Every structure is written in C-alpha cells, then in structure tokens.
Amino acid sequence: MTTEARTYPAVEYLIDVFGNWLKHRRELRELRELDDASLNQIAGDLRVSRDDLAALVRQGPHSADELPKLLEALGIDEEKLARTEPLVLRDMERVCSLCGHKRQCEHDLATGTSSTRYHQYCLNAATIDALGEAGRR
C-alpha cells in the first residue's frame, strides 16, 4: 500500500512566515543585548552609524529586495555594479532598506512604470543617474 504525501502550501507558507518572524525577533534581541563597545565596533566595521545599524536590523533581511528589481528595470547590471562599485551598491542597499516609499516602489515595479516614476520618491535616484552617466562615458 502506497501512501501519498499531501502538501499544504498555505500552511507551509504560514510556517515559513512564522519561522522568519521568530528569527527576526531573535536578531533584534541579540542586538539589544550587545554592549555599547560591541555595537560601536559592528557599526564601524559595517561603516554605518549605530542608529542605521539598529534600523537595518529592525527592517529585516528583505528590506532592500526592491533594489535589484529597480536596477534591472533601469537596465543596470547589478552583478557588474557589485564587481566595479561594491561600496556604492552596498550604500544603495542601505538607503533602500531604510526607505519609506516601499509601497510606491513595489507598485511601480509591478506595473512597469519604475523607469519614469522613481525620481519622484527614490532616495537612490541621484546615485542611479550618476551610474547611468558614468556608463555613457
């Protein structure tokens, strides 16, 4: 007799979401438990302020997921950027992570209007424009 394993995608999704939430809570707790010297050292190693470090941890690991999609929509090769300008890309990820316009960005990415609208809200717009100018030289 063969038993067939049944999958329940909705349940699996909820389990994954809950597991990610627990992991994120654990990361936040670990950050709060650090002494000042350790927190300053980590922030310094990452070249961000203490406040930015705390905000980045609060935002979670997917807080800059829009950036690769925006770069692709604008015809910017993220892999090449990572090789040629890794610090610029990392700063763009930091800026994206802390952005307050996620819904607008996600909407524009979904509707394919990012290339004409990102200047209205994207804090990386000047950097993106400079990358475009450098690529045309």
pLDDT tens by residue, 17-26: 777 778 877 8
pLDDT at 1 over 60: no
For residues 115 and 74, give the distance between their C-alpha atoms in angstroms, rounded to a whole number.
6
User: SS3 sequence, the chain?
Assistant: CCCCCCCCHHHHHHHHHHHHHHHHHHHHHHHHHCCHHHHHHHHHHHCCCHHHHHHHHHHCCCCCCHHHHHHHHCCCCHHHHHHHCHHHHHHHHHHHHCCCCHHHHHHHHHHCCHHHHHHHCCCCHHHHHHHHHHHHC
Among the listed ranges 26-40, 64-78, 99-113, which one has the minimum average pLDDT value? Answer: 26-40
Domain boundaries defined on the chain = 8-61, 63-137
More confident residue, 36 or 119: 119
pLDDT at 33 over 90: no
What mean pLDDT is reported for the chain? 85
| Global pTM exceeds 0.75 | no
For residues 111 and 108, give the distance between their C-alpha atoms in angstroms, rounded to a whole number.
5
